[in-house]
Amino acid sequence: MTRNLIGAAVAAMVLASPAAADLVFPDLSYRTGPYAAGGVPFSDGYNDYFTLVNERDGGIGGVKANVIECETGYNTEKGVECYEATKGQGALIYQPLSTGITYQLIPKMTADGIPLHTMGYGRTSAANGKVFSHVFNYPANYWNGASGVINHLLEQNGGDLKGKKISLLYHNSAYGKEPIRTLEELSKKHGFTLKTLPVDHPGQEQKSQWLQIRRDRPDHVVMWGWGVMNQVAIQEAANIRYPMEDFIGVWWSGAEHDVAAAGAKADGYKSVTFHNVGDDFPVFDDLQEYVVDRGLAAGAGDNLGKVLYNRGLYAAMLAVEAAKTAQELHGTADIDAAMMRDGMEALVIDEAKMSALGMPNFGPSFNVSCENHGGLGLVGVTQWDADTKSWSLISGFKPTDGEVIGALVNEDSNAFAAENGIEERCK
């Protein structure tokens, strides 16, 4: 009953207005290539949520959502080509799931007036809405992730990391390099020693890095990986008997396929997160009834509840709620990209709304504003249980170091504004 009341104001508005065209949500997917193991479940979740909204709710404010999928192979050049090929079809928002593609699209999409949502990835300083008018990275960004890791390690060590050794094993790309500056600043603040160990694409060869870790014997290892790099790293950690409880990854290093290859030896490995895990939420009953049982699932229907499926689902939910907000703001169901941007900037996600959507405690509460496109940056921690073969949320969504992160966001975004002649908004 509660779900039937969602968007009642929008539905009433739609009845009084002419029929609108489909609302277009491109999916720059990668179901092929070395990172397909992560790309497939994310796109399945992203597509399935829009299908659910169409089948269960009759669309968004009475208008059907149309997901246009374009394969990028996690290749930056192909990602830009997909954007150019789809932007003229009424695209409301893009979520490329790639930091490399994101960096190329920021100036293009800003010029074209189309919003870009890089949830938990991309250019972290885009959280500053005063500089980045069309880029959003709520509810958390890379630097929140780095701080969330350190906060958890502080908890493990009684609040004191002085003299501790931490090694960062990172994907040698723009993505993997994102947390380094933040961790350097946090090392100064908390007194730990940071050592960085790059891993070249795609990440299958890590013998030298783990030999170094075995020699250094760091107190903790932090991983910033993606794709096969994660699986290899966890297996290598098991090979040298590195304690899994001292090994923690960013949210792109904490899915089922990352730990499966190591079997029981992966037990206890951890990852930070900005959303919940598993399928114990009412929305999954609806997905089964309206999507899977009707043969409308984007994939085989076997990814429901997996970490990256949930992330795609969550991303789509945020896009739908932003679209609803845009419809309410502008008094029309037939929104365009400019209106969608406004909806994203006025988005409010609270626990009441999440519960009404069948997703209680699925993610943190946050508000978006002209100044803040990144939310509150709340981060939780998940842990792998090899016996049950499942992830569990072992920590609620907690604040990260706003002082350190805020200073870095301002420094980087202000430099970007100066380089590109951008005048601050929100004055």
Residues 43-65 as b or e (16 or more Cβ within 10 Å = b): bbbbbbbbbbbbbbbebbbbbeb
Q: Does 197 share its domain with 250?
A: yes
Q: Does 390 share its domain with 269?
A: yes
How far is Cα of residue 427 from the mean position of the Cα atoms in its chain? Answer: 29
- Within a domain: residue 70? yes
- Within a domain: residue 6? no
Residues 40 and 38: their CA atoms lie apart, in Å, by 6
**What is the number of domains present in the chain?**
2
Q: Does 180 share its domain with 83?
A: no
Q: Does 269 share its domain with 388?
A: yes
CB atoms within 10 A of CB 139: 25
Helices (H), 76-194: 76-86, 99-112, 142-156, 174-177, 180-190
pTM: 0.94
- Within a domain: residue 252? yes
- Within a domain: residue 417? no
- Within a domain: residue 3? no
Q: Does 231 share its domain with 292?
A: no
- Within a domain: residue 185? yes
Q: Does 179 share its domain with 235?
A: yes
- Within a domain: residue 412? no
Show the domain range for 88. Answer: 23-140+277-376
Which DSSP state fits 89?
G
Q: Does 308 share its domain with 200?
A: no
Beta strands in 288-425 (DSSP E): 348-349, 366-367, 379-385, 390-398
Q: Does 71 share its domain with 213?
A: no
Cis? peptide before 202, omega within 30° of 0: yes
331 - beta bridge partners? none
Q: Does 229 share its domain with 295?
A: no
Residues 3 and 355: their CA atoms lie apart, in Å, by 9
What is the domain-level CATH number for residue 335? 3.40.50.2300
- Within a domain: residue 293? yes
Residue-level pLDDT, tens digit, the chain, 427 residues: 333 433 443 333 333 333 457 999 999 999 999 999 999 999 999 999 999 999 999 999 999 999 999 999 999 999 999 999 999 999 999 999 999 999 999 999 999 999 999 999 999 999 999 999 999 999 999 999 999 999 999 999 999 999 999 999 999 998 999 999 999 999 999 999 999 999 999 999 999 999 999 999 999 999 999 999 999 999 999 999 999 999 999 999 999 999 999 999 999 999 999 999 999 999 999 999 999 999 999 988 899 999 999 999 999 999 999 999 999 999 999 999 999 999 999 999 999 999 999 999 999 999 999 999 999 999 999 999 999 999 999 999 999 999 999 999 999 999 999 999 999 999 7
Q: Does 237 share its domain with 187?
A: yes
Q: Does 261 share its domain with 325?
A: no
Q: Does 111 share its domain with 125?
A: yes
